[in-house]
Amino acid sequence: MTRLPFTLKQLEYFEAVARTGSIVTGAGLSHVSPSAVGSAIDELEAALEAQLFIRRKARGMELTPLGSHLLKQVRILLEQGAALTAAASENGVGISGAFSLGCYAPLVPFIVPAVIDHFHRTYPAVELEIVEDSSPALREQLLQGRIEGAILYGVDTVNDLEFAEVGKLRPYVLLPVGHPLAGGPEVRLADLTGERLLTVQAQPSLENTSSIFAAAGVAMGPHTTFSSSELVRCLVGRGLGYSVMLHRPAHDRTYDGNEVVACRIAEDVPSTPVGVAYPRGVRLTGRAQALIELLRTTSFYSLDGVRD
């Protein structure tokens, strides 16, 4: 049998530094000294005769293209090692280890609290880290191996990512109380074209909104973008415009105390898939499988849309 030129411990340190982008932070996660992690990385690169990181003073440790490619295989090896250890224990195969999970920022308050609560109670051996960012940034982190999975809209996935759908969001119109169209069972987008549309600037919110109007055969008209969905809700509550949204809070009162009305869209518009994206060709870990199962079987209010 061929003797491996590296150790699992070196691979663990490599994965920790790749995930955090820092030897110091990676050492903290591994509960060892930075010098031990730095030496292990140097030894691993020497054993593989390859450069895995680019050392930058201002930006920390950046994976080389080869390092990003090898990271996927390293995580598979570490997962298999963890499964082997669990299989040898009395409890059989368990779900444990570090789980770096990304989530598209506007979806975070609707999904992440329940995910954290579930993993804390059901899988206490999992070290869950949540990365909140824009969709393009999360896609890049997935491809670089810095996060294991990301909760995204299906429209955000690219060819080198797999997507496990967990639900759909049906878009709806948000109006202020007292708006002439707020009292009916549904609203036609065509009847709102002369009013100010308020949208969220984070990608892909504006793109989604544009596609909804296109599907309805309606010109989007004048619009203004803002930094967050809750700010948009507050502005709608004050009668400064209307919005088209996907996720819906559990109540219809804004942060500043005004009420808004969620109305079904009369035109035939598509629903947007929500799911977990992960690098193509990488075997799902037990942690990721548990996340997907949770999202598929739990009735999140955020996925209810405008209820009948």
Residue 263 has pLDDT above 90, yes or no: yes
- 263: closest CA among 211, 191, 167, 157? 191
pLDDT at 52: 92
Choice among 17-21, 152-156, 176-180, 274-278 with the minimum mean pLDDT: 152-156
Q: Spell out the domains of the chain, with CATH numbers in brackets.
A: 1-94 (1.10.10.10), 95-169+271-308 (3.40.190.10), 171-269 (3.40.190.10)
Among residues of the chain, what percentage have pLDDT more than 90?
38
pLDDT at 302: 43
Looking at residues 109-121, what average pLDDT do you find? Answer: 91
Confidence category of residue 90, pLDDT binned at 50, 70, 90: very low
Distance CA 81, CA 189 (A): 54
Residue 97 has pLDDT above 60, yes or no: yes
Q: How far is CA 215 from CA 51, 72, 78, 157, 270, in A?
A: 49, 38, 45, 20, 7
Looking at residues 267-292, what average pLDDT do you find? Answer: 87
Task: Give whichever of 65-79, 234-248, 290-304 has the largest mean pLDDT.
Answer: 234-248
Confidence category of residue 94, pLDDT binned at 50, 70, 90: low
> Cβ of 250: how many Cβ atoms within 10 Å?
8
Looking at residues 208-231, what average pLDDT do you find? Answer: 89
Q: Which residues contact 89 (CB under 8 A, 6 or more apart)?
A: none
Confidence category of residue 232, pLDDT binned at 50, 70, 90: very high
pLDDT at 217: 92
Q: Which amino acid is at 94?
A: G
Confidence category of residue 103, pLDDT binned at 50, 70, 90: very high
Decide: 67 and 18 in contact? Cβ < 8 Å. Answer: yes
In the predicted model, what is the mean pLDDT of the chain? 85
Confidence category of residue 84, pLDDT binned at 50, 70, 90: low
